[in-house]
Structure 1
């Protein structure tokens, strides 16, 4: 039975997770410490340990929450919708995630670069199952001639690469673009690119 947290406990737990997100996304898992997280959360280290027994526990809680949000845009791909519009919609939802949750994107990227030790089972399990299911839908659209004949897995990979780049390499993108807002231009570019790519 899960113990119900008081309002103060909920607030402290939320502060720890937000601080952990900030610290991990900046320094990576290995470069981060519980002391840094506690300081960023405005709590003592013993107080932090009351809620999470280790740095790994904070990191795992963040990744589990992140993966729910990360999978939602792909889950929303509707097999009964217009194929090109469904794929364009997926790309735009992923771009919006990068715009609105850049720290989460960098946290995920850091975990992957380290070999995904804390989420490897999820990647091979829930993530793979969902991607395979949606890839089958995309393949069906291609077989019916509704979209161009394209490898569905690599199409999904390309959407991940194009959209998450703007969060993971934000400093580089803004250095090159200067005062231009990156996400406005990215949205137009992605729509043009994928519409041309997918049209039979």
Structure 2
């Protein structure tokens, strides 16, 4: 039986360097436009050295997407039935917006994969992601049924949160071209707006 040897510190560092470089290249060029030569150059490694760690461009891309999807699910997992429903949902909105602020390359990479039909992560979307969304939609429905939030379609509520938060990463060029912000001050403005927007929409007295 072959037992995989633990990676050395240098090996771990090089893998992280390659994945970070690949994230930069894939998020800018897409899967089809990216090349191993570009990734190796961005990582500051030779192509043969890169291929020592990853057998192909596909292998690098698949590892990035697998890690990213799990990270993407964490904010939704954190919705707590024991908490105040409005605070829980608005908290989810804020976590998603913070991810767009801190992880714009990851967001764009994920968006590109979805636009292409999710050929490499469709199984995960139809499996773990769908089950999690079903579970949290059922939670939102319970909050609605007990009159604690307005009667909004739970699935489209979740979709709207994705749309209104990830927009600031996926369409950052458009947002910044219109607003001409200083630094990322517009993200603070977005947080203020989205908090007020969802609190008003979720208030059971509104509908």
- TM bin, normalised by shorter chain, reads over 0.9
Number of positions where the alignment pairs a residue of Structure 1 with one of Structure 2: 200
C-alpha displacement of 1:3? 2.6
C-alpha displacement of 1:68? 1.5
Give the 5 Å matches for 1:77-156.
77-156=79-158
After superposition, what is the alpha-carbon deviation per residue over 1:65-121, rounded to whole angstroms, capped at 9, x for unaligned?
111111000000001110000000000000000000000000000101111010000
**Distance in structure 2 (CA, Å) of the matches to 1:19 and 1:99:** 19
After superposition, what is the alpha-carbon deviation per residue over 1:32-74, rounded to whole angstroms, capped at 9, x for unaligned?
0011001111111111111110101000110111111110000
**Distance in structure 1 (CA, Å) of the matches to 2:181 and 2:106:** 24
Q: CA RMSD in A?
A: 0.8
**Distance in structure 2 (CA, Å) of the matches to 1:99 and 1:83:** 24
**Distance in structure 2 (CA, Å) of the matches to 1:178 and 1:117:** 36
The equivalent of 2:190 in structure 1 is 186
The equivalent of 2:58 in structure 1 is 56
C-alpha displacement of 1:182? 1.6
Q: Unmatched 5+ residue regions in structure 1? A: none
C-alpha displacement of 1:31? 0.4
**Which TM-score applies when normalising by structure 2?**
0.95
C-alpha displacement of 1:124? 0.2
- Please say which of residues 178-187 and 97-106 is displaced more in the overlay: 178-187
SS in structure 2 of the partner of residue 142 of structure 1: helix
The equivalent of 1:35 in structure 2 is 37
Structure 1 runs, 4 residues or longer, greater than 3 Å off = none
**Which TM-score applies when normalising by structure 1?**
0.98
Q: Unmatched 5+ residue regions in structure 2? A: none
After superposition, what is the alpha-carbon deviation per residue over 1:11-43, rounded to whole angstroms, capped at 9, x for unaligned?
110010000000000000000001100111111
